[in-house]
Amino acid sequence: MTGKQAKHRKLGNSSIEVAPLAFGGNVFGWTVDEATSFSLLDKFVDAGLNLVDTADVYSRWADGNKGGESETVIGKWIRQSGKRDKLVIATKVGKDMGDGKVGLSAAYIRRAVEDSLRRLQTDYIDLYQSHADDRSTPLEETLQTYGELVQQGKVRLIGASNYGVDRLDQARKISLEHGYPLYQTLQPEYNLYSRADYENNLEQYCLKEGIGVINYYSLASGFLSGKYRSEKDLGKSTRGGKTQNYLNPRGLRILAALDAVAGRYASTPASVALAWLIARPGITAPIASATSLEQMDALIAATQLSLDDDAIRQLDQASAP
């Protein structure tokens, strides 16, 4: 059935509540221009959604960029719209920004957070995430620094991205021992195609400790939207090449199941793939990006789509790792 948006969920064990889908800001400053970015953010917020995920390094990979472009676009939109209070902003630190700006040392985090706050044109970041594990910096140093930022009111919560259970658990023990903030969220790769690593290695731990999961690649770089069904489709977008690995019997079986469920619900494969994630225990808000208002409609529709047990079983079976 379709209808009202699914209830807001808490980020981990915190009091911050988010709608059950996050807008991925990796497209800002890359595949969408500023005016389109503003329209997408307006539509997202006007639909009652509130979690936007970005990173300082987005979108450094595009020609002519140096990093910080995504945060800058969001900051300009906040200034123009006056809707800072409608957003829960999640950004990240730690990936290589060039000129030695990388990692999770105390000195670098203190510098990077000021840069992010300036670009985002805000006094605080709702969710500040370690973008990747930095084994060259002691976890104690990183977590203590985050504690300082929380005390200063610059950061509300912290999260981790691309961490394994061993390091997550080490960090948790250190935080509990010293009174540092706990990682409240985890960003792993997870979608109908890429299931095994998360389900076998991370899911139970996150459920046990109440860590909120805001997974990335929720649509497998667009493959689960049904846009890429053969080799000739790969040139349809900038990200098309990434989907080549999904074009195999299992991938096509998943698309067939998405088509069938979408037909039954008068929906789209993208909305169904996201609704499957939203229904998964432990998932707080899958992250998905959009480059057009039509794609944004599919994201919004996913939060209003409640799949029945038969639909979930059909998708589970078709995508079984």
| pLDDT tens for each residue of 71-108 | 999 999 999 999 999 999 999 999 999 989 999 999 99
The pLDDT of residue 235 is 59
What is the distance between the alpha carbons of residues 234 and 228, in angstroms, rounded to a whole number? 6
Query: Over the stretch 181-193, which tens digit does the pLDDT of each residue have?
Result: 999 999 999 999 9
Flag the least confident range among 27-31, 114-118, 204-208: 27-31
Q: How confident is the model at residue 240 (pLDDT cuts 50, 70, 90)?
A: low
Query: What is the identity of the amino acid at 182?
Result: L
What is the distance between the alpha carbons of residues 66 and 62, in angstroms, rounded to a whole number? 8
pLDDT of 22 strictly over 80: yes
Pair 271, 301: CB distance under 8 Å: yes
pLDDT of 238 strictly over 60: no
Mean pLDDT for the chain overall: 94
Buried b / exposed e over 271-285, threshold 16 CB at 10 Å, is bbbbbbbbbbebbbb
The pLDDT of residue 36 is 97
pTM: 0.94
Residue 183 a catalytic site member: no
pLDDT of 233 strictly over 70: no
Read off the pLDDT of each residue in 263-274 and give the average, rounded to a whole number.
Answer: 97
Query: Choosing from 58, 128, 146, 193, which is the catalytic residue?
Result: 58
